[in-house]
Amino acid sequence: MARIEIDGVSVAVPVDEPVGGSAAPASKVLLDRLGASLTEPRIAVVGANGSGKSTLLRLLNGLVEPSSGSVRIDGLDTVRDGRAVRRRVGFVFTDPLSQLVMPTGREDVELSLRRTHRDRAERAAAAQAVLDRFGLGALADQSVYELSGGERQLMALAAVLAVGPEVLVLDEPSTLLDLRNRELLRRTLAGLDQQVILSTHDLELALDADRVLVIEGGRIAYDGTPSESVAFYRALCAAPVGTLRQLGTARQRTTAGGC
């Protein structure tokens, strides 16, 4: 497994409106002083809408850069060594159309394989094997715009897995999947050699992990076993917004928004 070190990471973005009448440019803090060492094979990140899950995942392959602190994958810094990090860390987006750039799934998988399989015939055979593994062979030559949302999501996952990244990061991978394909995804993830880090609102998927982080208001509100973390998250969602609750290691809940 890779060793992922998140060290004192904050992410802030500038906003147009200065806060409190100050003339200084204002910024919005998306992640606030996060620290974690991620070494388990399966890690899930749960949290309310807008809590910072996607921002956290995007840090892991340098799509988002820390405003302060650092993220290292096996010692490689995600900013300084961005290219090397992205070769190790495959990222599957929530919206597959932001990922599938070729007209058909087959071409997209072959595009992923262009570096590892220079020979055309070998590349075609490797692409077919990947497509078959996901039960996508029959859909491989259809326009990606004609695929259902779930089929596209599996196609995007196949295209990323084709190159065998060491770490697989998935942002809400089961959102568009029906029950059958959700089970296929769960079985696929369970059978991978790679380290898998995913964000999800699907608590069953979170319970499959070895470790679950609960993100709330840009901070890690709980970090524990799946059953503990999911119980914490359920309690957090049940708590009235703005109330002080002592829930395990929870901080005061100060942000608005449902779960």
- Counting contacts by CB under 6 A, is residue 219 touching ligand ATP? no
Centre a 10 Å sphere on the Cβ of residue 17 and count the other Cβ atoms it contains. 7
Least Cβ distance, residue 28 to ligand ATP (angstroms): 6
- Counting contacts by CB under 6 A, is residue 61 touching ligand ATP? no
Q: Which of 47, 105, 150, 165 binds ligand ATP (CB under 6 A)?
A: 47
Structure-token pair, residue 132: 């078959």
> Cα-Cα-Cα-Cα dihedral of 1, 172, 212, 226, to 10°?
-110
- Counting contacts by CB under 6 A, is residue 54 touching ligand ATP? yes
- Counting contacts by CB under 6 A, is residue 26 touching ligand ATP? no
- Counting contacts by CB under 6 A, is residue 62 touching ligand ATP? no
Residue with tokens 């599938």: 100
Strand ranges for the chain from DSSP E: 4-15, 26-38, 42-47, 68-73, 76-77, 89-92, 167-171, 195-199, 211-216, 219-224
Residue closer to ligand ATP, measured from CB, 103 or 257: 257
Interface map 127-146 toward ligand ATP (x if CB under 6 A)? --------------------
Residue closer to ligand ATP, measured from CB, 101 or 256: 256
- Counting contacts by CB under 6 A, is residue 51 touching ligand ATP? yes
The per-type count for the chain, helices as H runs and strands as E runs, is 8, 10
